[in-house]
Amino acid sequence: MSEKNISNKFERLLDVKIPMSDGVNLSCDIYLPVKNKKYPTILMRTPYSKNIDLLINRALGLVNNGYVCVIQDSRGRWDSDGEYYPFIYEGLDGYTTQEWIGNQPWSNGEIAMSGSSYGGSVQWASAPYDSKYLKTIAPRVICCDFYKGLLYPGGAFQLHVALTWGMRNNARTAQNINYYNWQDLFMNLPLIKTDEISGRNLKFWKDWIEHPNYDEYWDKINVENQWSQITVPSLNMGGWYDLYSRDTFSNFNGLIKNAKTSDAKKSKLIVGPWPHALSISTITGDVDFGADSMIDLDQLELRWFNYWLKGVDDGILDEPPIKIFIMGINKWREENEWPLKRTDFQNWNLHSNGKANSMFGDGVISTDLPNQEPMDIFEYNPDNPVETIGGTTCCSPEIVPWGPYDQRPVESREDVLCYTSEELTNDLEVTGPIKLVLYASSDSVNTDWTGKLVDVFESGFAMNLCDGIIRASHRDSFTNPKPIIPGQVYKYEIDLGVTANVFKKGHRIRLEISSSNFPKFDRNPNTGNKFGFDSELKIATQKIYHDSNYQSHIILPIIK
C-alpha cells in the first residue's frame, strides 16, 4: 500500500507496486510537483535501491523543473518482487513500466529515462520495445554488448568487475565486500568455485564462467543487434577511464548509423577525463585535469529532456553531436563524427635488438619500417601476473584503483616489453580508437596478449591512456575459438580502446606488451584446459616478432 507524504514543494508516493507481464510487482517511489496537472516523466530503474540520497536528490531537482520522477527497484531487488538475475528481465520490465506511467493521471504521455551503469543498461534494454510514451534516453557509462563490453573483452574474463560487482549484488539488498583478502580471492582456482569461496552462491557467476564464448546466452541480451528497432535519441555520457569508454562510442555510432527514425539519429555524446563515476572531481588517479574538466552533467541532461519532452529549443541540437576532452592540453572540443574525419591513421612499428624487456631495455617505437631484427622473448608465469595499476577499471576503486597512474612499477618487470619513442620535438595529438597488431608465438596451446598505450612525461612519469587484451584462442572468432599451435607465429589484432591525448613536446610515446593485466583480467593458465574449471598453471615462453616479414605495430590516430 502506498504512503503519501506531502511537503511544500513536492508530493511523494512510496512503494507503489506496478504489475509486470508475468504478474510480478515492482516497487516505485514517485515524486510529483504539488500542482494538480499532467507532467512529463523521468524514469530511473535501478538494482542499487531507489531509496538512496543520490537518486532522491536527482528526483527532487527534476520535480523542481516541472517533471514527475519515478524511481523503480529492479526485479528481485530491495522492495520489488521476483527473482534477481542481471540483465535478462530489464527490457520487458522497463517497457511495461513505461506503458503503466503513460496511463497515469499525472502523466502527459511523455517519458524519458535517466541513469548510469546498470541504470543505463535498463534504458537500452527497453528502447527496442518501442513504447509510444518513451521519447528519449540518457544512459551513462554502459555497454550494450555484455560479452565484449563487460565480461569477455578480447575473449578474456574481466575478473575484477565481475567478482566485486557480482558479490555486492548477489542478494535482494547490497552485500558488504570490505572484509576479504582480495589477493587470495582473485587468485583462487578454479574460477567456477570463486563465488563459493567468497561465501556466495551466484547462479549468474557460474553461468558467466560456463559461457566463455559468444553464444545464444549473450546474443539474446545484446542490444547492438537491435539498433534498427530503436526510435528514440540517446544522450550518451562516458569517460576516458571508464570501464565502458569504447562502448560509449559504439553505442553512439550504432544509433546514429542504424536507428529506425531521424530523431534517434540526432543522438549526442560527451566524454571527459573521468572514471566510472564521471564528473565528480578534477582529479582522476594521479592526475589533476583542471577546473575545466568538470561538467554539470545533470544540467546537460535537463537541457536534453527539456527539448525532447517539453519542446524547449535552447539550441542544444544546433551544437555538434560530440563533445570530448583532450587530455594533455586539458581542453574541450566539439566534433561531428567518430573517428574524426581528419584522422591520419599511422603505423608506429616495434623495434629492438632483442632486449625490450622492461623500460630499461632497448625497445623502440617509431614510424620507421623494421629490418631483420631479433625477436623479443619473455616468460609469462600465471602464478606471478603483471599487476593492474589503474586504467579503465570498475567498480571498486578501493580494491583496484581506476584512472591514470604511474606505470613504472610494472614497466620495471622483465615480463613487460616496453617500446618507447624518441622525445617528441612537437606536440602530437592522438585521438581515436587504438589498435595493436601483434605477431607472436607461444610454446603453449593457449595464452593471452596484452597491450597498453602510455604517455611518458619528461619527469619519467608514465601515464596509462588505454589498454586491451586478446585471448589467443579467440584471435579469429569469439564464437568458435581454436587453440594455437605451439611455436607457430600468429597475427593478433588487439583493441586497446579509445583515447584523446596530446603527447606534449619532450614527452615520449610508450607501448607496453605482456600476457597479463591482473586482476582486471583473469590469468590465462596457458594449459588449454576447459575455461573456469582449471586449477593447473603452466609457464609460457612468449616471442614477439618485428621484422620485415612480421611488422608488429600500433595504429595511432594522429590529429594534425
Q: Cα–Cα distances in Å, from 257 out to 136, 253, 324, 498?
A: 17, 6, 20, 19
What's the CA gap between 131 and 111, in Å, rounded?
9
Cβ–Cβ < 8 Å for 471, 155: yes
Phi, psi of 507 (to 5 degrees): -80, 170
pLDDT score of 357? 98
- Report the side by side order of strands in the sheet with 107-116: 3-6, 10-19, 25-33, 68-73, 39-46, 107-116, 134-140, 235-239, 268-272, 322-326, 331-335
Beta pairing partners, 508: 456
What's the CA gap between 248 and 271, in Å, rounded?
8
CATH class held by domain 343-559: mainly beta
Grid cell 597498453 in the structure block, residue: 452
Nine-digit cell string for 34: 504539488
What's the CA gap between 541 and 447, in Å, rounded?
10
Annotated catalytic residue within 276, 351, 507, 546: 276
Span 8-50, pLDDT tens digits: 579 999 999 999 999 999 999 999 998 889 999 999 999 999 9
pLDDT score of 7? 46
Q: Do domains 3-143+229-335 and 343-559 have the same CATH topology?
A: no
Cβ–Cβ < 8 Å for 438, 494: yes
242 tagged catalytic: yes
What's the CA gap between 149 and 478, in Å, rounded?
13
Cβ–Cβ < 8 Å for 357, 531: no
Q: How many residues in total does the chain contain? A: 560
Beta-carbon contacts of residue 182 (< 8 Å; ≥ 6 apart): 399, 519
pLDDT score of 3? 39
According to DSSP, residue 327 is labeled B
Annotated catalytic residue within 79, 93, 195, 242: 242
Sketch the domain layout of the chain as residue ranges: 3-143+229-335, 148-209, 343-559
C-alpha 26: how far from chain center: 28
Grid cell 566539439 in the structure block, residue: 334
- Characterize the bridge pairing of strands 68-73 and 134-140: unpaired
Annotated catalytic residue within 80, 107, 117, 421: 117
Handedness of CA 510, 516, 517, 520 (dihedral sign): positive
318 tagged catalytic: no
pLDDT score of 9? 79
Q: Nearest CA to 558 among 499, 514, 508, 472? A: 499
When computed from its CA atoms, the radius of gyration of the chain, rounded to whole angstroms, is: 24
* Burial class for 23, CB neighbours closer than 10 Å (0-12, 13-18, 19+): exposed
Q: What amino acid occupies position 112?
A: A
pLDDT score of 376? 98
What's the CA gap between 195 and 199, in Å, rounded?
7
The pTM for the full model equals 0.96
pLDDT score of 354? 98
| Domain over 3-143+229-335 is classified CATH 3.40.50.1820 | yes
Inter-axis angle of helices 90-102 and 118-126, to 10 degrees?
Answer: 70
Q: Cα–Cα distances in Å, from 26 out to 72, 139, 297?
A: 7, 21, 28
What's the CA gap between 121 and 516, in Å, rounded?
29
Q: Please report, in angstroms and rounded to a whole number, the separation of the first and last CA atoms in the chain.
A: 62
Write out residues in the chain with pLDDT < 70, as ranges: 1-8
Beta-carbon contacts of residue 279 (< 8 Å; ≥ 6 apart): 272, 293, 294, 295, 296, 297
2 tagged catalytic: no
Beta-carbon contacts of residue 139 (< 8 Å; ≥ 6 apart): 113, 115, 116, 119, 120, 121, 123, 124, 234, 235, 236, 237, 251
